[in-house]
Amino acid sequence: MSAKPNARIGATFARLAREGRTALVPFVTAGWPVREATLPVLHALVEGGADVIELGVPFSDPMADGPMIQRANEAALAARVGMADVLAWVRAFRETDHATPIVLMGYANPIERMGQHAFVEACVSAGVDGVIVVDYPPEECGEFTALLRARGIDPIFLLAPTSTGARIEMVAREASGYVYYVSLKGVTGAGNLDVAEVLSRVARIKQTVRLPVGVGFGIRDSATARAIAQGADAVVIGTRLLQALEGASPEQARTRARDFVADIRAALDAPASQESPER
């Protein structure tokens, strides 16, 4: 199925490709570390050098996420953060930032409760650019994917070390914007990456998928981000960022978010001869 890709996501990756740079995609849970920090943190991530932002929609059973992101989800839900709040923060962000893509990442249940059509229209109104739904496999969400595409929102799908050739081909057909490669068998924040193995798998995915390929779920520091960037089009960092924000006031969260992302951005952009710093 063909469709015009989202303008902001497509333009961002096209610009980075021309510049020979890797996209930095931080993930943050909406409402973490406190409700009032969400909008300042979004702007701080851009100030630090984020190219795309993945904004997590709180959910009570985030099955793919490790203890840190689960804790962030629980705290956000305890603060009564819901889909309406998430979309309101995106809308407020768009009042001053018209360029940085925002991708909502979460699970099917909140979308189903709202209704797929209503959700897609609300995303359009707020200024959402892409959607990742962990438990919407491409085989089972054709109607939802079509709704997103028709309204200029990119359906972004996950691939994993266990993905078959058939699954990779299906994602190549159905996805737009970029593809998210889950680098580990397990949940977010778990284990240590075998960088060589990840780069090998990314190279194989790129033989089929013509979209940019981002890597996440195991990038814990600037050195690992720099190593993964040798073969990936984007690096996604979530768990360590959420750890850095834990316990912070809104103003502290803004500073910590900006500084954390700036450190990763500096490592990604450092000349090849320069040894990258490690957090």
- Residue 1 domain-assigned (yes or no): no
Residue among 57, 202, 49, 170 at smallest CA distance from 119: 57
pLDDT at 277: 39
For the ranges 28-32, 71-75, 189-193, 272-276, the one whose mean pLDDT is highest: 28-32
Q: What is the mean pLDDT of residues 42-60?
A: 97
For the record, the structure tokens of 73 come out as: 């989800």
Give 81-144 as a 3 state SS string.
CCHHHHHHHHHHHHCCCCCCCEEEEECHHHHHHHCHHHHHHHHHHHCCCEEEECCCCHHHCHHH
CB 235 within 8 A of CB 261: no
- Residue 276 domain-assigned (yes or no): no
User: Domain with 68 in it: what CATH number?
Assistant: 3.20.20.70
- Residue 226 domain-assigned (yes or no): yes
pLDDT at 187: 46
Q: How remote is the C-alpha of 204 from its chain's centroid?
A: 21
Look at residue 34 and tell me whether its pLDDT is greater than 70.
yes
Domain span at residue 77 reads 7-269
Q: What is the pTM of this model?
A: 0.92
Residue among 126, 101, 132 at smallest CA distance from 14: 101
- Residue 275 domain-assigned (yes or no): no
- Residue 278 domain-assigned (yes or no): no
Left, alpha or beta for 115 (phi > 0: left; psi -120 to 50: alpha)?
left
Residue among 220, 221, 163 at smallest CA distance from 188: 220
For the record, the structure tokens of 18 come out as: 């021309």
Per-residue pLDDT tens over the stretch 153-180: 999 999 999 999 999 999 999 999 999 9
Q: Known catalytic residue: 221? A: no
- The overall longest dimension of the chain from CA atoms, in Å, is 52
pLDDT at 30: 97
The catalytically annotated residue of 36, 47, 65, 221 is: 65
Rounded to whole angstroms, the Cα distance separating 46 from 58 reads 22
Question: What is the number of structural domains in the chain?
Answer: 1
Q: Known catalytic residue: 65? A: yes
Amino acid at 141: C
What is the pLDDT of the chain when averaged over all its residues?
A: 91
Q: Cis peptide before 212, with omega less than 30 degrees from 0?
A: no
- Residue 48 domain-assigned (yes or no): yes
* Sheet of strand 179-182, all strands in order from the earlier edge strand to the far edge: 154-155, 130-133, 102-106, 53-56, 23-29, 234-237, 213-216, 179-182, 158-159
Q: Are strands 213-216 and 179-182 parallel, antiparallel or unpaired?
A: parallel
- Residue 89 domain-assigned (yes or no): yes
- Residue 2 domain-assigned (yes or no): no
Rounded to whole angstroms, the Cα distance separating 176 from 5 reads 6
pLDDT at 3: 42
The catalytically annotated residue of 19, 47, 54, 121 is: 54
Backbone angles phi, psi at 247, to 5 degrees: 80, 5
Per-residue pLDDT tens over the stretch 97-121: 999 999 999 999 999 999 999 999 9
